[in-house]
Amino acid sequence: MAKYKNTSNYRNTPMQKEFLDLYVPPLNISFENTKTITLEQKYHTRPDLLAHDLYGDSDLWWVFVLYNRNKILNPIYDFKSGLTIRVPINSSVIGV
C-alpha cells in the first residue's frame, strides 16, 4: 500500500489491491467570480460550443459540470436550452 503525504490529494483516494481507485478531487469552488446564464438553443447538448465561445477552448466544457453539479449530471443530455447555470468569468477559469 502506497503512502502519500498529508498534503497529497491522493492520500484519501481508496486503494483496490495495490492500485488507486478512482480519484475524486476535493471540490472547494469559489462562486465569487461567476455569472448566471440561461442556455440558448444553439448550446443545446453542446457544452463544448459554449466553452469555446466563453473561453476560446472547447476542452473546458467540464467546467460547467463542475460549477453546476446539482443540475448537470450528464454533460451532454442535461445541457439543455433554457437551463440556467453558473459559469466562471473568463479570467477565473485559469487554475480551476
Which structural domain range is residue 38 located in?
A: 27-92
pLDDT given at position 53: 95
49 part of a folded domain: yes
Predicted confidence (pLDDT) at residue 96 exceeds the cutoff of 60: no
Q: Which residues contact 15 (CB under 8 A, 6 or more apart)?
A: 1, 2, 21
21 part of a folded domain: no
Mean confidence (pLDDT) of the chain: 83
Classify 41 as helix, strand or coil.
helix
Count of domains for the chain: 1
48 part of a folded domain: yes
Predicted confidence (pLDDT) at residue 42 exceeds the cutoff of 60: yes
pLDDT given at position 47: 96
Mean pLDDT confidence for 15-41: 80
11 part of a folded domain: no
Calculate the CA 35 to chain-centre distance: 15
69 part of a folded domain: yes
76 or 96, greater pLDDT: 76
Provide the whole-model pTM.
0.68
